[in-house]
Structure 1
Amino acid sequence: MDTKNRHAIGRREFLKRLGAGAAVSTAALAGCAPERGPAADGTSASGEIPTDAMTFRINPRTGEKVSLLGYGCMRWPTVGGDGPDADEIDQETVNRLVDFAIAHGVNYFDTSPAYCKGQSERVTGIALKRHPREKYFIATKLSNFAPSTWSREASLAMYRNSFRELQVDYIDYMLLHGVGMGGGMEEFEARYIRNGMLDFLLAEREAGRIRNLGFSYHGDIRVFDRLLAGHDRYRWDFVQIQMNYLDWRHAREINPRNTDAEYLYGELAGRGIPAVIMEPLLGGRLSKVHDHIVARLKQREPGRSVASWAFRFAGSYPGVLTVLSGMTYMEHLQDNLRSYCPLQPLTDEEREFLFATADLMMQYPTIPCNDCKYCMPCPYGLDIPGILLHYNKCVNEGNVPEDRQAENYRKARRAFLVGYDRSVPRLRQADRCIGCNQCVPHCPQNIRIPQEMQRIDRFVEHLKQGTL
């Protein structure tokens, strides 16, 4: 599809290409209430989940059998819900999720000192400690993002604290966290080279306290290429990349600082380095797609969830060791287990169908927020992820009115404004942004957050005044 014409395509022509016809959902006429909890759109699958059918991949260096579904521990449930003020993690619910996952074959759990406001390693360790150590693999990270943690002493303290929090004497999979994010090569040198931390971690691997050493990549391709060029020295055991059917060929188009997953996976596969996949759903965006896209996917496979297409895509590549998913609710866990117990790999024709679907999805001007919350807390109290997710949800449901002459203008206007006040408290909305830019370096998706806040605030004001 011609990139120059992608955003100029008319609605009628778009629907014609989409082929949704009468199957298009009427959910776009519903209100735009927040949807940060379990899916409420009927897009998840159902049915019994076998306990002995998990698809496993073999770690080529250790021979370990790793579950194709990995548990991402960045979005554990909280006692106070999932709002910006929720702090206390619900340990009992975490325990139930971990128990159910292990009972159904999941054995890879990915956490970080930075997740869940610093609580993820502790609650993950508590949940896993109740199971035999040989039943699971723990992945964690040296998440020394802040300049105050770049010193050798601070980085060593973070590393050693991970062992205490997780209650283990070795780490199965250790990652340099967020390589290429923010300051590029200069930041990477400060975080891992000049302080001697990479050499230290290599020595820890030799001593057996780290079983596998790798890095997670975000953003600056020069860092990715340099680390792979040094593979003979570092001997990376795995690399974590963002990969899904939208980012496969559209990552750079969404944001010029990102890299298409097709290139990242190809470079790893060519060197025989296993890939660990993060963001298979783009922070949930590929499970909350535009209603027309839902209709297209459900028309093709009525019995499958929308999310299952993304998980099958990621899992169908043989160089993938495991696919991470931040499963906050039992419903999420069960649906993903259905995709991998066992995996039904995509056919070539199904893969092309998804690539065509990705092309169509690019018609919708959503903001690439993955709800990772790295931008939080905002010093001025904004709920940045809540604002962006509400905007994206309304785009996907057709509730972002373009002008007053549009047929559904009044309905869409009301849905956007009412949903905005319901999902984001007034004192946390976009009008509170002063453009301090403190959030920008922390965003893995390189979103220009202050500009987006100003744009959304102007849009809201026009809607309120009826001048759009």
Structure 2
Amino acid sequence: MEERKDISRRNFLKIFGSGIVTTGVMLYGCSSPKENSKDKSEENNTNLGDVPTDKMTYRINPTTKDKVSILGYGCMRWPAKENAKDDENPIDQEEVNKLVDYALAHGVNYFDTAPVYMRGYSEKSTGIALKRHPRDKYYIATKMSNFSDPSFENSVKLYKQSFKELQVDYIDYYLLHAIGGGSDCIQTLHDRFIDNGLINYLLKEREAGRIRNLGFSFHGDVKAFDYLLAMDVKWDFVQIQLNYLDWIKPLGANIDAKYLYSELRKKNIPAVIMEPLLGGRLATLNEHIVKSLKEKRPEDSNAAWAFRFAGSPEGVLTVLSGMTFMEHLQDNIRTYSPLEPVSDEEKELLNKTAIELLQYPLVSCTNCEYCMPCPYGLNIPGIFKHYNKCVNEGNVSESAKDENYAKARRAFLIGYDRSVPKLRQASHCIGCNKCVSLCPQKIDIPEELHRIDEYVEKIKQNKL
């Protein structure tokens, strides 16, 4: 097991940082885990009868005929133990087991993980939880995360390690992880997968049945996406970012979701969807922005609207959600049991909502934590999370003359100090730029941090 830790931590953390998200509420809200986990889970446990057990929507994989739940479980944000030390497994295995048991009992059968998630322990924890159930009741997806050492020997070692961690003798869905990164995305693609002979090796593994479906996840430069689709390789599925905001206007470096989806449809390649909530921003929206959505479907959460949109297109195999808490899992099960596809009228409402959202200066951070750890100790995702939360709640003012300026100023400053310790705030960024190349959204992180810090200083001094 020490061998696994060496692979996951020593090599991968150079690229991915801690990989642990202790605030899984990023996907649904901005309160702390302490506010959400125990109390809300107990409250929801009294209403389990409201969650259907036999109405989940499924999609059929055209290659293997797998019957895949439209709701997929993203294992990047498993519940974490409080105060876990940096050199230990941070995952609360008992809570993971409960969530996996509940998901399977309510029709969820697709679980997506990677060697680098949760400090390198996600595969192990996912394997422990799923091993307690019959192998034919679930599909496992994991990835080739050979960022720090793309040599053939290391990549194969990493591949074989996934089988041990997951406790399986075949992997249902195997992905080339995070295609599109690097200063030269095509050269990076060749280095990681082509020139080292790795794709040929994985194709042979598919022929042998140890990989049942082979695909890739895409983040970044669309040239890499187009390059892989043009190769003489049969891709069984592709994982893309799709949500109703990126559908009309991609934020930052996000590639137009409509283009990605349409290219996959041309080739009849099933799409696995990530970021349906765009890092949680589509779940925590200002009331005036979602007024028309609430009037149309008063009982639906903001998240439900986003998940219905992501799951509606033909050819979507499953939609991933990193569900840290039981209430998140329950809400998504309700949304997809069964899925009611968005109507043309509802698409128009979401389009108007997206246009209004684009008027706000949000940072296009999805909380992937690939930028972490910051060598100077900044909590980069935490800073962006607080800023985006305040934008959504109307607590970022343009001028001290704004009607609610005093209230917004107080909410921003107090919330900032509570959510991000002072020594980890934006003021400590020196602009080293080490984080920029790691960001799959291609955010100019130092520039955004300096912009936020400038805003903080202005409202502190009442000079806005």
TM-score under structure 1 length normalisation: 0.88
Q: What count of residue pairs does the alignment treat as equivalent? A: 427
The equivalent residue for 2:13 is none
Q: In 1, distance between residues paired with 2:108 and 2:344?
A: 27
Gap runs ≥5 in structure 2: 1-28
The equivalent residue for 1:267 is 263
Which amino acid is the alignment partner of residue 139 of structure 1? Answer: A
Q: In 2, distance between residues paired with 1:196 and 1:86?
A: 34
The equivalent residue for 1:215 is 216
The equivalent residue for 2:110 is 108
The equivalent residue for 2:6 is none
The answer on 1:99 being equivalent to 2:101 is yes
- Taking a change above 3 Å as real, the CA distance of residues 197 and 424 of structure 1, as seen in their structure-2 partners, is same
- Taking a change above 3 Å as real, the CA distance of residues 81 and 319 of structure 1, as seen in their structure-2 partners, is farther
Which amino acid is the alignment partner of residue 116 of structure 2? Answer: A
Q: In 2, distance between residues paired with 1:142 and 1:438?
A: 23
3-state secondary structure, aligned to 1:407:
coil
The equivalent residue for 2:151 is 151
The equivalent residue for 1:122 is 124
Q: In 1, distance between residues paired with 2:254 and 2:338?
A: 32
- Which moved further from structure 2: 442-451 or 101-110? 442-451
Deviations 1:247-274 (A, max 9, x none): 11211xx22x331110110010111000
Q: In 2, distance between residues paired with 1:243 and 1:270?
A: 17
Instruction: Write the mapping of 1:194-273 to structure 2, written as runs, cut at 5 A.
Output: 194-230=195-231, 233-251=232-250, 254-255=251-252, 257-273=253-269
- Taking a change above 3 Å as real, the CA distance of residues 85 and 453 of structure 1, as seen in their structure-2 partners, is farther
- Taking a change above 3 Å as real, the CA distance of residues 53 and 81 of structure 1, as seen in their structure-2 partners, is farther
Gap runs ≥5 in structure 1: 1-32
The equivalent residue for 1:341 is 337
Q: In 2, distance between residues paired with 1:126 and 1:275?
A: 27
Q: In 1, distance between residues paired with 2:124 and 2:441?
A: 27
Displacement of 1:172 in angstroms is 0.4
Q: In 1, distance between residues paired with 2:207 and 2:406?
A: 65
Which amino acid is the alignment partner of residue 195 of structure 1? Answer: N
Deviations 1:193-228 (A, max 9, x none): 111111111111011110000000111111111111
The equivalent residue for 2:139 is 137
- Taking a change above 3 Å as real, the CA distance of residues 219 and 196 of structure 1, as seen in their structure-2 partners, is same
- Taking a change above 3 Å as real, the CA distance of residues 36 and 155 of structure 1, as seen in their structure-2 partners, is farther
The 8 Å contact of residues 78 and 90 in structure 1, kept in 2 or not, is answered as: yes
The equivalent residue for 2:181 is 181
- Taking a change above 3 Å as real, the CA distance of residues 82 and 423 of structure 1, as seen in their structure-2 partners, is farther
Which amino acid is the alignment partner of residue 201 of structure 1? Answer: L
The equivalent residue for 1:16 is none
- Taking a change above 3 Å as real, the CA distance of residues 151 and 261 of structure 1, as seen in their structure-2 partners, is same
The equivalent residue for 1:69 is 71
Q: In 1, distance between residues paired with 2:400 and 2:313?
A: 47
- Taking a change above 3 Å as real, the CA distance of residues 63 and 34 of structure 1, as seen in their structure-2 partners, is closer
The equivalent residue for 1:25 is none
The 8 Å contact of residues 273 and 316 in structure 2, kept in 1 or not, is answered as: yes
Displacement of 1:85 in angstroms is 11
Q: In 1, distance between residues paired with 2:348 and 2:65?
A: 33
The answer on 1:376 being equivalent to 2:372 is yes
The equivalent residue for 2:5 is none
The answer on 1:462 being equivalent to 2:458 is yes
Displacement of 1:296 in angstroms is 2.9
Which amino acid is the alignment partner of residue 196 of structure 1? Answer: G
Identity of aligned residues (%): 62
Q: In 2, distance between residues paired with 1:340 and 1:377?
A: 36
Q: In 2, distance between residues paired with 1:376 and 1:402?
A: 30
Displacement of 1:295 in angstroms is 2.7
Q: In 2, distance between residues paired with 1:85 and 1:308?
A: 37
The equivalent residue for 1:392 is 388
The 8 Å contact of residues 57 and 65 in structure 1, kept in 2 or not, is answered as: yes
The 8 Å contact of residues 76 and 327 in structure 1, kept in 2 or not, is answered as: yes
